[in-house]
Amino acid sequence: MKARHSDRPEDGYAATARLQMPAPSNSTIEASRPSQAPIHQVPPIDRSFERLEQLARVHGGSYDSYIATDTQGKEYFWSSDGQGVLCTVPKGGYVFVYGGILAPQESRRALVTEFLADCKRKRMTPSFFNAGLEDVQLLEEFGFRATKFGEEPIVELENCTWRGKDYEWVRRQTNYCLRNQLQFEEVRRDQMTGAEWNALMDEMDVISAHFLEEKPHASRMQNIVSRFCRDLMFGQRIFVARNTELQRVEAFVICNPCLDQNMWAIESYRKRRDAVRGVIPFLMHQCMTVFQQEEASYVTLSMLPLIRCETPRPGDSWVLRRMVTLAHKRFGAIYDSAGLYHFKTRFRPHRFDDRFICAYHRVTPGLLWAGMQSWGFHQVSLTTTLKKLFHQKKKKADRSQLAKPKATGDNRNAA
C-alpha cells in the first residue's frame, strides 16, 4: 500500500490504516487518578481502509469509484472531519483525482475546499477525471473548466425485460453459449478451499495475460481501469463462464458496487483466445439477470471514451475537445471507441451519462502529458497497433455497419 502520512494537522493525506498507540501501564493510571479530572477525548478520525471502502461503495456513483480502493500508486486526501476522501495520483506538479468525490452530499463542498487549499500550499495543479454532471456543477464554482471526455451507458434494470426484438442479439449469444455447454456461476472466496481458489486464480491469470496481449496498451492502462488481482477488493464480485465439457473457465467478468449496491459496474472482462463465440455477452447478460433478482436498480457498462464530444460547452477547453474528437476519428487502432460503442449499445442502455475531465482554470501541454502518463495512454505496443490497424482495414466493409452515436443530447441508444 502506498499512501502518505503526515504529522501536520493541516495535511489531509494519511495512511489508510490507523496507528495504534501503546496502552498505559496500570501504575501510570493509578498515579494519575487522584490529581486529574476526567478528560473528554475526541474520538480519532477513522482513515482506515475499511472506511475508504465504505465511502467508495456507498457514495461512489460511477464505474471507477470502487477502483479507488486499489491502493497501488495512489494517495488519499481525507477531509479534516473524516467524512470524505479523494483518491489522488500525483504526477510532477499535477495531481489527478480518480473515482469522484467520495463523500456524503453535505460534506462534498468542504472536502473540495480543503483539497484546493492543500494543492495551493504545495503548488500542485489539480484535475478531476471522469467527473459526472453533479461533480462538474460543484467544481465549476471553484474555477474548474469541464471538457466532455465520453459517456457512461446505464441500464435501468426495472425497465429491462430481455424480450422482443431489441434484445434478440443478446438472447442469441446466450442460447449459443448454453448449447455449447457453458455454465454461468459466481465464484466466492469464502466458499472455496485455499487450493481451489489458487488454482482458479492461476487459470484466470493466464486468461487475463493472453487477453491483454492483444490490446495496444496491454496491461499499461492504469487508474481508469482496474487491475486483475488474486485477492479481490472487499465488495468486488467475479462471475465465470465454465465449460463443463472441457472442464475449464472460458471467460470471467469482474463487477464493482456503486451507490450502496443499488448500482453495479460491469468493469472488467477477459476471455480465452479460443473461447466460445459470444461468451462475454453471455456473461454480461447473466450478471444483469442476477442483479435484477437482487433488486438493484442500475448497471453501468463502464466508460465509453471519446463519444459525442465534438459539441462545445461553456467554459470547456477547445484544445482538449479537438484532441478527443480527433482521437475518436483517427486513432481507432489504439483505442477502438467505435467498436466499443457498437458492442455496449447491444444491451440497450436506457441513458448515457456525460463524463468530463475537469482542469483547474486551464488546460496546458504539461497537464495533458502528465494526464497521459497517469492513464498509461503514452505507452502503446507498435506491433499490436499495426496488427489491429491491418485487421480493421481488412474488415472495413463490416465496420461501416457499426452503430453510430446519435446527436448530442439524445440519451436513447443508437444500436
Q: Tens digit of pLDDT for each residue in 326-381?
A: 888 877 666 778 888 999 999 999 999 999 999 998 888 888 888 888 776 666 76
At residue 43, the pLDDT reads: 64
- Predicted local distance difference test score (pLDDT) of residue 215: 73
Q: Are 145 and 312 contacting, i.e. CB atoms less than 8 angstroms apart? A: no
167 vs 368: CA distance, rounded Å: 40
pLDDT of 184 strictly over 50: yes
Domains plus CATH for the chain? 155-300 (3.40.630.30)
Cα–Cα dist 386/343, whole Å: 22
> How confident is the model over 190-201, as a mean pLDDT?
91
What is the chain's alpha carbon radius of gyration, rounded to the nearest angstrom?
Answer: 23
Q: Is the pLDDT of residue 39 over 60?
A: no
Mean pLDDT of 88-97: 93
Residue from 379, 319, 393, 24 nearest 145 by CA: 319
**More reliable by pLDDT, 12 or 325:** 325
pLDDT grade for 27, boundaries at 50, 70 and 90: very low
Band of pLDDT at residue 130, cut at 50, 70 and 90: very high
- The set of cell numbers assigned to 368 is 495533458
Q: What is the mean pLDDT of residues 49-75?
A: 92
Q: What is the mean pLDDT of the chain?
A: 84
Convert 293-323 to b/e letters by CB count within 10 Å (16 or more is b): eeebbbbbbbbbbbbbbeeeeeebbeebbeb
Tell me the pLDDT band of 72, cut-offs 50, 70 and 90.
Answer: confident
Greatest mean pLDDT among 37-46, 351-360, 399-408 lies in 351-360
Measured CA to CA, the distance from residue 349 to residue 403 in angstroms comes to 13
Q: Which cell numbers hold the place of 371?
A: 494526464
Express each pLDDT in 264-276 by its tens digit. 999 889 999 999 9
Cell numbers for 54: 465504505
139 has a pLDDT exceeding 70: yes
**Beta strands 85-91; 248-258: pairing state:** unpaired
Is residue 25's pLDDT more than 50? no
Res. 35 pLDDT band, cuts 50 70 90: very low
Check pLDDT > 70 for residue 3.
no
Does the pLDDT of residue 222 top 70, yes or no?
yes
Burial class (CB in 10 A: 0-12, 13-18, 19+), 189: middle
Cα–Cα distance, 159 to 167 (Å, whole number): 12
Q: Which amino acid is at 115?
A: F
The residue that leads in pLDDT, 206 or 28, is 206
Give every CB contact of residue 253 below 8 A, 6+ residues apart in sequence: 238, 239, 240, 266, 268, 269, 280, 283, 284, 287
Per-residue pLDDT averaged across 62-66, rounded?
92
Rounded CA-CA distance 384/250 in Å is 23
| Cell numbers describing residue 272 | 480465452
**Residue range 10-37: mean pLDDT, rounded:** 45
pLDDT value of position 311 = 92
- Comparing 64-68, 167-171, 283-287, 323-327, the range with the smallest average pLDDT is 323-327
* Residue type present at position 199: A
Instruction: Tell me how far CA of residue 106 lies from CA of 84, 112, 114, in angstroms.
Output: 10, 12, 14
pLDDT for residue 108 is more than 60:
yes
The mean per-residue pLDDT over the stretch 113-141 comes to: 96
Enumerate residues 6+ apart whose C-beta is below 8 A from 66. 56, 57, 60, 99, 226, 233, 235, 236, 256, 257, 258, 265, 267
385 pLDDT tier (thresholds 50, 70, 90): low
pTM: 0.83
For residue 368, the model assigns a pLDDT of 84
Rounded distance between C-alpha atoms, residue 280 and residue 295, angstroms: 23
Query: 36: pLDDT confidence band, cut at 50, 70 and 90?
Result: low
> Per residue in 287-335, pLDDT tens?
999 999 999 999 999 999 989 999 999 999 999 999 888 888 877 666 7
Contacts of 92 (CB under 8 A, 6+ apart): 366, 370
